């Protein structure tokens, strides 16, 4: 078990490599940007640069992450999953260096919707 603090870097080229490092798994490929943990929390690996990818735009500002679906209809099959994942352990994927930065543990704020979710920082460290 290791305690991570916000801002710590984990060198991993892929989502699979990050999960293997953090959880001791043995993935060869893992393309999804999330993984649910046994605790019910979601380990989330987004890019937080404000660029639209697969209809979603994610930005981080002032201790919050804003996740917006701007892709129009039809909606993605798993659009409601983001409301199920009320607590997320966030590792920002950084393409230019092929590493991830731990951003903290975030919880979904009241009033979040299918199309716009606001997550608030609740902890800047975690033990995995």
Token couple for 36: 């649910």
Task: Confirm if 115 and 69 have CB atoms less than 8 A apart.
Answer: yes
Task: Confirm if 4 and 125 have CB atoms less than 8 A apart.
Answer: yes
Identify the pLDDT of residue 66.
98
Identify the pLDDT of residue 77.
86
Tens digits of per-residue pLDDT, 76-127? 888 888 898 899 999 999 977 689 999 999 999 999 999 999 999 999 999 9
Token couple for 11: 């060198």
């Amino acid at each position: 078990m290791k305690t991570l603090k916000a801002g710590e870097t984990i060198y991993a080229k892929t989502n699979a490599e990050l999960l293997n490092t953090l959880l001791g798994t043995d993935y060869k490929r893992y393309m999804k940007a999330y993984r649910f943990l046994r605790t019910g929390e979601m380990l989330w690996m987004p890019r937080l640069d404000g660029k639209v990818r697969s209809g979603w735009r994610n930005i981080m500002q002032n201790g919050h992450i804003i996740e917006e679906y701007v892709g129009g209809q039809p909606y993605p099959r798993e659009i409601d999953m983001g409301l199920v994942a009320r607590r997320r352990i966030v590792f920002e994927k950084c393409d230019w260096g092929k590493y991830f930065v731990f951003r903290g543990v975030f919880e979904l704020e009241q009033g979040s919707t299918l199309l716009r979710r606001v997550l608030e920082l609740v902890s800047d460290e975690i033990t995995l």
